[in-house]
Amino acid sequence: MPRPRWKPAEELTPFARLLREGYMWKRTPNINLSELADITGISKQTIWRWLNTDSVPRQRSTLLRLHETTGIPLQDLYAAANVSDPEEDAWESIERCIAGEDRLPADKREKAVAYIHELRMEYRLDTMQDEPVTDQ
């Protein structure tokens, strides 16, 4: 049986490229679409659509399932699917709330926003270091 032909990388969406080259082709031996469907519990038709069209998952729960079953970093999945990261959304909301708080003097607001921003960066570094290293 002939092997399926793959689209050239430059024709793929960032999400399809991440799935194919960042997971399917890193496995030894490489896995195919059906095997990825079995691993993730996502239908073959859906995965085919992600790999062959401009379609990407829009639900965070689907991206979380992909992360949990493949080990692809969640932030990479969010970015490739162009879906906002809920943790980043929460940090931005906190910064906006403090920046818009008129009851605080302007200098204290600026210091508070800078401190929250610093915490956010430290948190991001800590979570990046906690990412499991997968050798699949």
**Closest to 13 in 3D by CA, of 67, 80, 103:** 80
Amino acid 126: pLDDT: 78
User: What pLDDT, in 10s, does the model give residues 86-101?
Assistant: 888 888 888 888 888 8
Inside any domain, residue 114: yes
Domain with residue 23: its CATH number is 1.10.260.40
Amino acid 81: pLDDT: 94
Distance (Å, whole) CA 32 – CA 113: 47
Inside any domain, residue 62: yes
Amino acid 135: pLDDT: 44
Averaged pLDDT, 16-35 = 91
Q: Which two tokens stand for residue 118?
A: 């610093």
Distance (Å, whole) CA 108 – CA 13: 44
Averaged pLDDT, 69-98 = 88
Domain of residue 35, residue span: 10-81
Averaged pLDDT, 12-16 = 93
Averaged pLDDT, 33-45 = 95
Domain tally for the chain?
2
The SS3 of residue 105 is coil
What b/e readout covers 6-19, taking b as 16+ CB neighbours within 10 angstroms? eeeeeebbebbbbb
User: What pLDDT, in 10s, does the model give residues 103-124?
Assistant: 889 898 889 888 988 988 888 7
pTM over 0.75: no
Q: Are residues 95 and 120 in the same domain?
A: yes
Residue pair 51/36 in contact (Cβ under 8 Å)? The answer is no
Amino acid 51: pLDDT: 93
Distance (Å, whole) CA 4 – CA 2: 6
Q: Are residues 25 and 57 in the same domain?
A: yes
